[in-house]
Amino acid sequence: MTQCKALTTPDTMWNFCPSIGAAYLLTVLFGLTTLAHIAQAILHRKFYCWVIAMSGTIQTVTYIFRVLSILNPASYDDYAAWFVLILIAPLWTNAFVYMVMGRMVWNFTDDARVMHIRPWHFGFSFTNNKHSAFIIQVYGAAQAAGNNISYSTEMTGLHIYMAGVGVQQLFILLFVVCAIVLHGKILRQQPPDTKKALQLLYILYACLTFITMRIVFRLCEYGQGLDSTVPSHEAYQYCLDSLPMLLALVLFNFIHPGRLMPGKNSNIPSRKERKKTGVCTKAKMTGNDIVCPADC
């Protein structure tokens, strides 16, 4: 029987035998969906899509480092790199969902607002809150991944990371409330592109479900520290973390925001453009007879 290099190497970072085949497969799959997102961003000229491409890039790099770590089990740098990156990469997918929602408010509502929030404020507010969760998670993950650290330091890092995950989930729940309100508004107003709007909204719901699934998994995984049985069974990680995040990327490949919200007019105008033209709804921009509210 062939011995597992990840377990037999002196000073190995691994406490179980990881599958290098699975790591290679995820590297290829994340790489393919990332290349597709880069091509789609260029094709549709939607450069805000660099955010979802960045998510795919980080997750591809995550698995490259995982492969390197399996091949070099004693390398702390390779192990720490994939450990930290896999924890923070999905935040970019989360941010992209917020950005798409803001553009949906601009494109599919008459007054370009949801719960009195403008599309440019919508994306800005939720994305900034994502940054707070990002900083907390990076700090916690980096501390937990330290070399030769004490158990208490490791647990402190994991608890900080879980606090960041909790912040992320809180804003997801607030976001879902806004999405439900937008859903009802689209059904009431019945814009010309209602079918496209609902398609994209269902994709957002699916992605948020995947992200929430991952968050619950991570909270369960690290609730008892790295010595619990969950981290030593990589099937959990693949099924409840990497696979949901891969599906989220692939869903956006098939139902791409740039295809459903095409053209220059679908882009949210900058603050300078809004002040110059007085335009605060897409309908006003395209010349339809809709009054522009005074607070735009």
Instruction: Return phi, psi of residue 114, to 5°.
Output: -135, 125
**CATH number of the domain where residue 40 is located:** 1.20.1070
* Domain presence at residue 295: no
What's the structural domain count of the chain? 1
Q: What is the pLDDT of residue 292?
A: 47
Residue 101 lies in a domain: yes
Q: What is the pLDDT along the chain (296 residues), one digit of tens a residue?
A: 568 888 888 888 898 899 999 999 999 999 999 999 999 999 999 999 999 999 999 999 999 999 999 999 999 999 989 988 998 888 899 989 989 998 999 889 888 888 888 887 776 676 666 677 778 877 887 777 667 777 788 788 888 888 888 888 888 998 899 999 999 999 999 988 899 999 999 999 999 999 999 999 888 877 776 667 777 789 999 999 999 999 999 999 999 999 999 888 787 766 666 666 655 666 665 554 444 444 55
Rounded distance between C-alpha atoms, residue 2 and residue 7, angstroms: 12
Q: Domain for residue 24, yes or no?
A: yes
Is residue 248 assigned to a domain? yes
Residue 5: how many other CB atoms lie within 10 Å: 15
Question: What pTM was estimated for this model as a whole?
Answer: 0.87
Burial of 190 (0-12, 13-18, 19+ CB in 10 A): exposed
Query: 17: exposed, middle or buried (C-beta count within 10 Å: 0-12, 13-18, 19+)?
Result: middle
State residue 279's pLDDT score: 58
The closest of 100, 125, 129 to 268, measured between CA atoms, is 100
In a domain, 293, yes or no: no
For the chain, the straight-line distance linking the first and the last C-alpha, in angstroms and rounded, comes to: 70
Tokens of 62: 């995550």
- Predicted local distance difference test score (pLDDT) of residue 290: 42
Residue 141's pLDDT is 76
Is residue 170 in a domain? yes
Cα 201 to chain centroid distance, Å, stands at 16
What is the predicted pLDDT for the residue at 68? 97
Note down the domain range covering 198.
15-285
In a domain, 294, yes or no: no
Q: How far apart are CA 83 and CA 266, in angstroms?
A: 38
Calculate the CA dihedral of residues 200, 30, 234, 95 and round it to 10 degrees: -40
Q: Are 84 and 138 in contact (CB under 8 A)?
A: yes
Own/partner pairs for 182-191, CB < 8 Å, 24+ apart?
182/101, 182/104, 182/105, 182/108, 182/109, 182/114, 185/109, 185/114, 186/108, 186/109, 189/109, 189/110, 191/108, 191/109, 191/110
Domain assignment present for 95: yes
